[in-house]
Amino acid sequence: MNKLGTLTILAVAISLSTGASAAGPSGPLGMTGNQDQVSGRGLSTQLNGSGMESQLRRQTRDPSSHAAGQPTQQRNITYTPEQIATLLWMIEEEKLAGDLYEAFYDQTKLPVFDRIAAAEDRHMDRLVAHAQQANVDVAPILALPAGQFVNHELQALYDQLLQAGSLSAEAALAVGIQVEQDDIAALEAAIAEAAGTLLETVYSHLQAGSEHHLAAFDLWSKI
């Protein structure tokens, strides 16, 4: 796993926390989220700021909304302990991104966070399904609600990034950019580690998605 990328994110989080002026959530900006059939995101477009949007969207991200609650056909797939450890890390890294972007959407109402949070859910679902096919136990991860993680390093990272990105919409977008940059770097390392396996293909698809997410956050940061 690319620990350097994690340290980079932590440094950015600390920099944002100390360098940005404190500010509350930016509030509704007159923009709506998009519908997502898989994750149920976009419900906020129907609630008009009723205060229930966060609760309802999080209900769509409980373990039953992921592959955990569905039977998955196991296949004769064998990975090394290192590849399994990386797979579990990547599942939680996708969860971290989705949970962060969901929280930032609640605060800023920027639709880019709603859309990309939904995409991160789909990324996580894809990795979870593959892990289950390989008979890798992901139940401890899927049992946790938004904002909680099995990996203590990722838990600390999430807490710092949430604090840093909650300062303002600009800070949230900066965190989004850094998360996607780190995710791309982590996926590059994971692809190399998984060369010649089905995971290589899965990670390559996710890397392409992360590059689109990075471009979207970069565009919004310039508006």
> What are 35-73's pLDDT values in tens digits?
333 233 333 323 333 334 444 444 445 544 544 444 455
Percent of the chain surpassing pLDDT 90: 65
Q: Does the pLDDT at position 1 exceed 90?
A: no
CA dihedral (11, 140, 201, 96) in degrees, to 10, reads -30
pTM of the model: 0.74
pLDDT at 21: 35
CB atoms within 10 A of CB 112: 24
> Measured between alpha carbons, how far is 79 from 15 in angstroms, rounded to an integer?
38
pLDDT of res. 72: 53
> Computed from CA positions of residues 7, 54, 166, 115, in that sequence, does the dihedral angle turn out positive or negative?
positive
Handedness of CA 25, 30, 36, 40 (dihedral sign): positive
Q: What is the DSSP letter of 61?
A: T
**Mean pLDDT over residues 204-221, rounded?**
97
What is the distance of C-alpha 31 from the center of its chain?
22
User: Quick one: DSSP state of residue 211?
Assistant: H
Assigned architecture for domain 3-16+53-221? Up-down Bundle (1.20)
